[in-house]
Amino acid sequence: MKRYFIWALVVLLLIAHQDNWLWDNGTLVFGFMPIGLLYQAGISLAAAITWFLAIHLIWPTELDPVASS
């Protein structure tokens, strides 16, 4: 179940990554940051959070003293 949850998050992330609704939006956030670039930087952070969840929810614990074999 947890594995499906992580895969669903990854698929959502890949869909969000396409962000077609911002394709031609050149708004500058804070006066200097193009909104499309800020959004994609947000995708990078969301990716880090997704993988943080993955290592806590579906970490292959059986691989944790394999290390000496």
Partner 1 sequence: MVERFGELTIIGVYLLLLLGLGMAAGRMFKGTKSDYLLASHSIGPFLLLMSLFGTTMTAFALVGSSGEAYKVGIGVYGMLASSSGIIHSLCFFFIGIKLWSFGRRHGYTTQIQFFRDRLESDRIGLLLFPILVGLVIPYLLIGVIASGTVIQTMTSGSFPDLFPTGSPGTHGGIPNWLGSLITCLVVLTYVFFGGMRGTAWANAFQTIVFMVLGILAFHVIATKLGGEETLLENLRKVTAAVPENKLTRVDMSKMKFFTYLLIPLSVGMFPHLFQHWLTAKKASSFKLPVVAHPIFIMIVWVPCVLIGIWATSSLIPAKPPLPSNPNAILPFLVKTQTGPLLGGLLTAGILAAIMSSLDSQFLCLGTIFSNDIVTHYYGRTRVSDRGQIVLARIFIVAIVAITYGLSLFPQRGVFGLGVWCFSGFASLFPLVFAALYWRRLTKAGAFAAIVTTIVVWGLLFWQSDMGANREFAVKLSFGGTTYETMPVATIFLSSLLAMIIVSLLTKPPSENTLGKFFDPQRAHALPVEAD
Contacts with partner 1, residue ranges (CB under 8 A):
10, 13-14, 17-20, 22-26, 28, 30-34, 36-37, 40-41, 43-45, 47-48, 50-52, 54-55, 59-60, 62-64, 66-67, 69
Alpha helical stretches, state H, the chain = 2-18, 35-57
Are residues 35 and 28 in contact, defined by beta-carbon separation less than 8 angstroms?
Answer: yes
Q: Please choose, from the candidates 18, 62, 56, the residue with its C-alpha nearest in 3D space to the C-alpha of residue 39.
A: 18
Q: How far is the CB of 23 from partner 1 (least distance, A)?
A: 5
In the complex with partner 1, the residue whose CB is nearer, 1 or 65, is 65
